[in-house]
Amino acid sequence: MYYGMLAEITGHAEEVWTANESLSVGSFRALMLAKYPELQGKKFKVAVNQKISEDYAQIDTQAEVALLPPFAGG
Amino acid sequence: MEKIHKPKKVFVQGPVSPQFIADAIAAHQSKTTIGAHAIFLGQIRADKKEEGTVTGIEYSAYEEMAEQAFHKIREEAFARFELTCMHIYHSLGLVPVGEISLFVFVSSPHRRAAFEASEFVVEAIKADVPIFGKELVEGGAHVWKENS
């Protein structure tokens, strides 16, 4: 799922990725940047199953992954 | 004694109205152990950007994750401060300049806990809750807001 500015850049709010095996958040980021070069230089966090996750964390094949731009609540 | 605080609905569509805030205050008159309320209201500023003057902010959120984050903030505030009750409301959708997008209302027997809890809650919301803001500027352009 994409939020805020990132939904604008990718052109959609949701997308299904099919992965045959689990991959790390770091490799997922690399895949995203390859698919959407405009993401280069944009700050975003990756939430896996609604939890902010670091690059070393694993994403299992059924996970809900969200790309979150900087927060702006308040 | 540990109290259970159920997750509460935080998001409201559009601005938080002054009447809503007045009604929330009135609803606490029967809670006579309270000696101090602290209220924080976030209001939309007409910032001047390179693209033009801001006319409003359109909020969106990763709602499920945001509700969990709000719940965690509530639990933590109750654990850290002597609070009688707490209410948080945040807008989704368009909030024009001059209107209220965040209403934090904490109540305590004493003022110190109320002041401190309100600051804690507001700072935590800004840092930890996945809410996104599109600042609309005159002429139709927009800029994505980022909390500092």
CATH (domain of A60): 3.10.20.30
Measured distance between the N- and C-terminal CA atoms of chain A, rounded to whole angstroms: 23
pLDDT confidence band for A18 (50 / 70 / 90): confident
- pLDDT tens, position by position, B74-88: 999 999 999 999 999
| Cβ distance of B133 and A73 shorter than 8 Å | yes
Using DSSP's 3-state secondary structure scheme, residue B134 falls into strand
Contact A60, A27 (CB under 8 A): no
Q: State percent of chain B over pLDDT 90.
A: 92
Cβ-based contacts of B68 with chain A (< 8 Å): 50
Decide if B49 is inside a domain: no
Across residues B115-134, what is the average pLDDT?
98
The answer to whether the beta carbons of residues A10 and A37 sit under 8 Å apart is no
**What is d(CA B137, CA B50) in angstroms, rounded to the nearest whole number?**
10
Domain span holding position B23: 11-42+62-90+97-129
Cα separation of B54 and A7, whole Å?
A: 21
**Which residues on chain B are in Cβ contact (under 8 Å) with A41?**
none
Q: Which two tokens stand for residue A69?
A: 């731009």
Q: How many structural domains comprise chain A?
A: 1
Q: Give me the CATH number covering residue B80.
A: 3.90.1170.40
How many whole angstroms separate alpha carbon A68 and alpha carbon B62? 8
State which residues form the domain around A31: 5-68
User: Residue A74: CB partners within 8 Å, gap ≥ 6?
Assistant: B42, B101, B102, B122, B125, B126, B131, B147
B65, B122, B146 member nearest A72 (Cβ) = B146
Q: What per-residue confidence (pLDDT) applies to A58?
A: 94
B144 has pLDDT over 80: yes
- Does any CB of chain A come closer than 8 Å to the CB of residue B130? yes
Task: Please give the Cα distance from A52 to B94 (Å, whole number).
Answer: 27
Report how many domains make up chain B. Answer: 1
Instruction: Kindly state whether B92 is in contact with chain A, defined as any CB-CB distance less than 8 angstroms.
Output: no
Instruction: Give a yes or no: residue A73 inside a domain.
Output: no
Chain B residues with beta carbon closer than 8 angstroms to that of A47:
62, 65, 130
**Within-domain flag for B29:** yes
Judge whether B15 and B96 are in contact, CB under 8 Å. yes
Is residue A38, in this structure, part of any structural domain at all?
A: yes
Q: Do B126 and A69 touch (CB under 8 A)?
A: no
Contact (Cβ atoms closer than 8 angstroms) between residue B97 and residue B56: yes
Tokens (6 digits) for B120 = 């804690």
Give B4-44 pLDDT, tens digit per residue: 566 678 999 999 999 999 999 999 999 999 999 999 999 99
More confident of the two residues A18 and B32: B32
Residue percentage of chain B with pLDDT more than 70: 95
- Average pLDDT rounded to a whole number, residues B107-120: 98
Give me the total of CB pairs closer than 8 Å, taking one residue from chain A and one from chain B: 68
CA-CA-CA-CA torsion for A69, B12, B2, B128, nearest 10 degrees? 10
Q: What per-residue confidence (pLDDT) applies to B1?
A: 45
ipTM value of the model?
0.92
pTM: 0.92
Burial status of residue B72 (CB atoms within 10 A of its CB: 0-12, 13-18, 19 or more): middle
Q: Is A40 contained in some domain?
A: yes
